[in-house]
Amino acid sequence: MKILITGGLGFIGSHLVEKLGRTNHVDIVDGFNSDYVGYKYIHRGSRGLELCNEIEQKHRSQALNYRLQLIKNKHKEILRYDSFIKLPLKQYDLIINCGALSEAILSQHFPEYTYQSIYSGLECLKKFYPNTPVLHISSSMVYGTWEGVIDEQYSLGSVDHYGDSKIKAETLCGNKDIILRPIHVYGMGDGKFSIWMNLERQLSIGKPFSLEAASCIYIDDFVLAIKNILDNWKPGIYNISYDFIRAIEPIKAVYPKNFEYKIKSGPTGKPRGSLDSTKLLDTFGITFKHKDYESTIKDYYGKYENFCQKQ
């Protein structure tokens, strides 16, 4: 199969390139460079937008190096431009669209880029490859803030530019496409707010580590789900999440230093509920490898330590 992955140098995209590139022809479109807003900047609450500090730069550079190692020899071509500007003159059997601003909170500072990367990027793909099925990585942010457990029938209602752009982008998808709505994808290669970056940063300034107790999905099981989806393609809209939420105890169990912590609200300033992924699991016959948050954190920290030791 010939697959085009937009955002193939990013967190989710690089893991998909690594997995799918073993047995498929995979091309990457990605305009990433050191000026990418999600790499260069960070939002610091009431202080607003700031450049990353030394610790944040270290971890984001480390995550990038990890992703570059992941995709090595797993792709045929890397096209270094943004998908909303230019696309390759080739035919593909499938497009996986991961190429967009991945950090919702930055959308308030970069509304035009948010719209271009999320909506205009998919619009360009649909115009350029009108007959090619698309697996579009959307977001749970299309639901805004909610309480309890919700499925795909829950009403859409964004609270920021990011969610607005994700909602609008979904309208571009047709009856051959699949839309995934993940929440809190985490694992090695995450360059936004990795757990280990946050811990090191907060310890360095003597402040508590913050964690949102919300639904999540580990990158390894996210990729497992994608593989099942491609093997049993059934167009539609699907939530993707575990049936458990993030917790502080597994992190404290693996991290070698003691730290203070607090449970925080979601990006909207309010707690978020959970996603029901029954439709996804039943439709594609998916059984996740990990059954609890603890096992994912053990695996994640093990990979993090191993990678650090090799640097």
Output the pTM of the full model.
0.96
H or E segment and range at residue 252: helix 249-254
The pLDDT of residue 85 is 83
**Res. 272: pLDDT tops 90:** no
Write out the two tokens for 272: 């978020």
**Res. 268: pLDDT tops 80:** no
**Res. 206: pLDDT tops 70:** yes
Mean pLDDT of the region 144-170:
94
What would the DSSP string read from start to end of 65-89? HHHHHHHTTS-SEEE-S-TTT---S
The pLDDT of residue 274 is 92
Helix (H, G, I), strand (E, B) or coil at 182: strand
CB within 8 Å of 20: residues ≥ 6 apart: 3, 5, 26, 96, 226, 227, 230
CA end-to-end span of the chain = 35
Mean pLDDT of the region 21-34:
95
The pLDDT of residue 84 is 79
**Res. 258: pLDDT tops 80:** yes
| Confidence class for position 263, pLDDT limits 50, 70, 90 | confident
Between 269 and 310, where is the model more confident? 310
Share of the chain above pLDDT 90, in %: 86
Of the listed ranges 24-28, 55-59, 78-82, 215-219, the one predicted with least confidence: 78-82
Placement of tokens 């639904």 in the chain: 215
The pLDDT of residue 165 is 97
Per-residue model confidence as pLDDT tens digits over 42-53: 999 889 999 999
* Cβ contact 26:75 at 8 Å: yes
Per-residue model confidence as pLDDT tens digits over 219-254: 999 999 999 999 999 999 999 999 999 999 999 999
| Confidence class for position 83, pLDDT limits 50, 70, 90 | confident
| Confidence class for position 267, pLDDT limits 50, 70, 90 | low
**Res. 277: pLDDT tops 90:** yes
What is the residue-averaged pLDDT of the chain?
Answer: 94
**Res. 269: pLDDT tops 70:** no
